[in-house]
Amino acid sequence: MTEILDRVRAHLRGHFAEAGIAAEPDSASVTFLGAEPIKVLRFRCGTAGLVHYVSLGCSGDPMIDPTQTLADRLRGPRAEVVLSLRDPGLATGIARSMAILAATPAVDGVILAADALIDLGSPLWARRSGHAPFTAMLLGRSDIPDLPLEPPCDPVNFLSATPITATEAAWVRALGARGASAMRQAWHDDGVDVLDPNRPAAQPD
């Protein structure tokens, strides 16, 4: 597990170095009962004003369907999640929310995949002005390339995590299989910048 996570960290460093972020990331560690610690790396892009939060720890083991009677410790999907925001300022709780998201496969038996909606049930972060309106994450494919591992291990996928409001999450659930794509289309049609931590909510037609 440690070897895989070391490779994931090096892969992330290489990706962000190519994007012009040469500095070492800040790191926070969050521990959950009965699960391995999850680290959250924070990469700051000064020129674009973006902050990237990336989990490190979810991919140490494959994600297993809890209904399976025998767990394969090598085969199965592996993932880490990345949240990108225009500088959220003095926000607290982002690293913990990212760690909770990344720990859901180990804690709750959830398999993280593109178009999955993960509801954390509480604000994702807080600021002096109050709590953020976002309580869930909509997952998608990020621009970080997959990290191949030696067979029979599956590669590590890097999933984007887009914060969404309770209203938006309800729409995604109500629309079923087309909920994720409809939500993204609504953001596009409304000109919503999902990287903006102060953005308004949107509703699909």
DSSP 31-61: --TTS--EEEEEEEETTTTEEEEEEESGGGS
Is the pLDDT score of 46 beyond 90?
no
Q: What are the pLDDT digits (tens) for 49-107?
A: 899 999 999 999 999 876 665 666 778 999 999 999 998 888 999 999 999 999 999 98
| Whole-angstrom distance, CA of residue 149 vs CA of residue 125 | 34
| H/E segment holding residue 99 | helix 94-108
Mean residue pLDDT across the chain: 92
Parallel, antiparallel or unpaired: strands 78-86 and 156-165: parallel
| Whole-angstrom distance, CA of residue 22 vs CA of residue 45 | 9
Q: What are the pLDDT digits (tens) for 122-132?
A: 999 998 888 99
Q: What are the pLDDT digits (tens) for 9-29?
A: 999 999 999 988 989 999 999
- Cβ atoms of 90 and 128 within 8 Å: the answer is yes
Residue 39's beta-bridge partner residues?
A: 29, 56
Percentage of residues of the chain with pLDDT beyond 70: 94
